[in-house]
Amino acid sequence: MKKVCVLGAGSTKYGKLSDSIADIATQASVSAIEEAGIDPKEVDASYIANVFGIADKQVHLGPVLMSNLGISEKPSLSIESACGSGSIAFREAWANVAGGFYDCVVATGVEKVTHTGTEWTTTYFAYCSDFYYEGQAGASFPGLFASMARAYLSEFDATEEDFAMVAVKNHENGMLNPKAHLQKKITVDDVMNSAVVASPLKLYDCCPFSDGASSVVLCSEEFAKAHGGNYVEVIGSGRGGSPAALQGREHMTTIPSTKIASKQAYEMAGISPKDVDFAEVHDCFTIAELVDIEDLGFFEKGAGIQAVREGRTKLNSDISINPSGGLKSKGHPIGATGIGQVVEVYDQLTGAAGARTVKDAKIGLTHNFGATGASCAVHLFASV
Amino acid sequence: MSAKEKFAENAKLGKFLAHKCTKCGHLHLSTVYFCQKCGNRGSEDMVLGGTGLIATYTIITVPPAGFEKFTPYAFVVLKLDEADLRISGFMGGIATPEDLPVGTRAKIAGFDERGVIIEKAVK
């Protein structure tokens, strides 16, 4: 297996964007290729993560992107894995370079949904559940995570105010990220006083619906060295699955796929959770970040809440969780999110993260899942 | 009749149709084709009572399309009395968490365009 590096990264701003889905995917990809300092003709293939292209009148995004990049003769693969599409596309890109099939590939994630409005976005997102058992019965995505939150409240010594602290922390980080969707400082009271979406989760416990695109260039180590620019090394990659419906899980306060994927990634890298300096985790809802930091091994099950209370997950504390602002503040264009996390890691490990820099960071982790964690990918990166 | 149709017919009678693996005896959803535990294809139908306890739930106030007229309502996960299995579904008439503490006794009460219908039950 070859060593794989990330040689360039780029993102559009996340938020409500007016350009088309194909345009924003192209803009992010152009930034990544320019940052990598490569000739687009050196790109062997691309992997495009997207879920609801149909809502912006464009599916089969791969060839459209390649045509826009002037490399229409190169192959592309479109990947849909709900909110985990980005990291799963990254994994496929990584595997093809690691396996020696390609020397240099582009992985791009994109989503454009804000124009559809809350009701229809809520409805479309519910199609990512195991519809027969969940979406059909009226479960929204906030509702499914709210069910996990209710279980967490019932099982551990946690309060809704504790959940709110996760949102406050991620907004603090997002304030330092010029590309974040919600650049707004909030308080625990703001969260507690926001409208209930699905009890016990309130509006400010939820990430926003966002438009946005992110892109990275992956390549072999020889290719990266030959180009001489900044790059980071992928040191671990893992994938896992969970029962698609919550009812299939014995415990509602853990996501099995996160544990499986992270175990594989840690083993491949030969490191343990305590070696990780910062992590971009899948905080689609505040409860998700708590479950994630426990499942990823940063804290014992049930101990995440105390860590959040003590500020141990803030920027430049014990472990910086979501320095970008996370899905909660940076935004969640679902196809782009998993790639956007890699963009953040690239920026952090190459000294381009500005005011939100994690000091002396050497190792970063990305964790991104689809639906309620039915699919998941975890990656580990090291500075060079 | 498909596996899902058979499951729904039983739910309409307040029952839970499970599959028992003919090789290892593991009980699983009747809509799962291979035994989750041993991978065996063979299974026999096992009709279980639809009663249990609420394992977790949410009360939805921002619904997907088609559910506006039921809002607020609960989406619940019911842990069955007779097996280590859970079934989720729709529960109407729930407005506040006080209406439905975790551990509340409930039962499968039907199946319609809202999927599995679950209601509170008295022991």
Q: Is the pLDDT of residue B44 over 70?
A: yes
Which amino acid makes up residue A157? D
Please indicate, yes or no, if residue A304 is contained in any of the structural domains.
Answer: no
Residues 6+ apart with CB under 8 A from A360: A277
Question: Of residues A171, A227, A332, A367, which has the active-site annotation?
Answer: A332
Contact (CB<8Å) A134/B4: no
Residue A319 inside a domain? The answer is: no
List chain A residues with CB under 8 Å of B97: 150, 199-200
The Cα-based distances of B56 to A159, B26, B78 in angstroms read 16, 24, 7
Residues in chain A, total = 384
Nearest to A140 by CA among B28, B75, B70, B52: B75
pTM: 0.97
CA B45 from chain center: how many Å?
16
Contact B58 A199 (CB under 8 A): yes
Report whether the peptide linkage leading into residue A200 is cis, meaning its omega lies within 30 degrees of zero.
yes
Rg, C-alpha atoms of chain A? 19
> What residues of chain B lie within 8 A of the CB of A150, using their CB?
56-58, 97, 102
Rounded mean pLDDT, B58-82: 97
Strand runs labelled E in chain A: 4-11, 45-49, 76-79, 104-111, 196-199, 201-202, 212-220, 232-241, 278-280, 320-321, 363-370, 375-383
What's the rounded Cα separation, in Å, for the pair B70 and B58?
A: 14
Q: Among A83, A128, A206, A284, which one carries the catalytic annotation?
A: A83
Question: Are B59 and A198 a contacting pair at CB < 8 A?
Answer: yes
Helix axes A337-349, A85-98, angle to 10 degrees: 60
Find the closest chain A residue to B28 by CA distance: A248
Q: Residue B3 pLDDT more than 80?
A: yes
**Which residue of chain B comes nearest to A123, CA vs CA?**
B64
> A-chain residues within 8 Å CB-CB of B58?
139, 142-144, 146-147, 149-150, 198-201
Cβ–Cβ below 8 Å for A133 and B97: no
Distance of CA A12 to the CA centre of its chain: 15
Q: Tell whether A179 is covered by a domain.
A: no
Contact of A9 with A343, CB cutoff 8 Å: yes
pLDDT of residue A254: 98
By residue count, chain B amounts to 123
Put simply, the answer to whether A195 touches B116 (Cβ < 8 Å) is no
Question: Which residues of A lie inside 8 Å of B (Cβ-Cβ)?
Answer: 118-120, 122-123, 126, 132-140, 142-144, 146-151, 154, 195-201, 245-250, 252
Residues in contact with B2: Cβ distance below 8 Å, sequence separation at least 6, in sequence order:
none
Is A32 a domain residue? yes
In this complex, the residue of B65, B73, B114 whose CB is nearest that of residue A120 is B65
- β-partners of residue A70 are none
* A291 lies in some domain: no
User: B73–A120: do the CB atoms touch at under 8 Å?
Assistant: no
Question: A83 an active-site residue?
Answer: yes
Sort out which chain A residues have CB atoms less than 8 A from B63's CB and list them: 122, 138, 140
Quick check: helix, strand or coil at residue A62?
helix
Closest-CA distance of chain B to residue A10, Å: 34
Does some domain include residue A311? Answer: no
In this model, does residue B123 exceed pLDDT 70? no
Question: Residue-wise pLDDT tens for chain A (384 aa)?
Answer: 999 999 999 999 999 999 999 999 999 999 999 999 999 999 999 999 999 999 999 999 999 999 999 999 999 999 999 999 999 999 999 999 999 999 999 999 999 999 999 889 999 999 999 999 999 999 999 999 999 999 999 999 999 999 999 999 999 999 999 999 999 999 999 999 999 999 999 999 999 999 999 999 999 999 999 998 999 999 999 999 999 999 999 999 999 999 999 999 999 999 999 999 999 999 999 999 999 999 999 999 999 999 999 999 999 999 999 999 999 999 999 999 999 999 999 999 999 999 999 999 999 999 999 999 999 999 999 999
A187 assigned to some structural domain: no
The number of domains in chain A is 1
Q: Is A36 helix (H, G, I), strand (E, B) or coil?
A: helix
How many residue pairs bridge chain A and chain B with CB atoms within 8 Å of each other?
A: 110
Question: What is Dmax (Cα atoms) for chain B?
Answer: 46
**Intra-chain end-to-end CA distance of chain B, in Å:** 33
Q: Which residue in chain B is spatially nearest to A127 when comparing CA positions?
A: B64
Distance of CA A334 to the CA centre of its chain: 8
- Alpha carbons A292 and A358: distance in angstroms, whole number: 20
Helices marked H in B2-119: 3-12
Q: Is the Cβ pair A247, B86 closer than 8 Å?
A: yes
Determine whether A332 is an active site residue.
Answer: yes
The position carrying tokens 């009701």 is A119
Contact residues, chain A, for B62 at CB < 8 Å:
118, 122, 140, 142, 197-198
Q: Which residue of A has its CA nearest to B55?
A: A151
Of B29, B55, B75, the CB nearest to A138: B75
From B89, B90, B97, select the one nearest B73 (Cα to Cα): B90
Mean pLDDT of B67-85: 97
Smallest Cα distance from A148 to chain B, Å: 7
Beta bridge mates, B116: B111
Q: What gap in Å lies between CA A71 and CA A65, rounded to an integer?
A: 9
- In the prediction, which pLDDT does A228 show? 83
ipTM (interface predicted TM): 0.97
B84 contacts A137? CB cut-off 8 A: no
In a domain, A234, yes or no: no
Neighbouring residues of B25: CB distance < 8 A, sequence distance ≥ 6: none
Q: Does B62 touch chain A (CB under 8 A)?
A: yes
Encoded tokens for A222: 């020889």
Distance CA A39, CA A41 (A): 5
Instruction: Looking at the complex, report in whole angstroms how far the Cα of residue A259 sits from the nearest Cα belonging to chain B.
Output: 19
Domain containing A86 equals 4-115+209-227
**How far, in Å, CA of B72 to CA of B80, rounded?**
25
Measure in Å the smallest separation between the Cα of A125 and chain B Cα atoms.
Answer: 9
DSSP 8-state secondary structure symbol assigned to residue A40 = G
As a 3-state breakdown, chain B gives helix, strand, coil percent values, each rounded to 5, of 15, 45, 40
CATH code: domain of residue A77:
3.40.47.10
Residue A140 is nearest to which of B60, B70, B86, comparing CB atoms? B60
- Amino acid identity, residue A91? R
CB atoms inside a 10 Å sphere around CB A347 = 25
Task: Tell me if A136 and B114 make a contact (CB, 8 A cut-off).
Answer: yes
**B90 contact residues in A (CB cutoff 8 A):** 137-138
Q: Which DSSP symbol is given to A201?
A: E
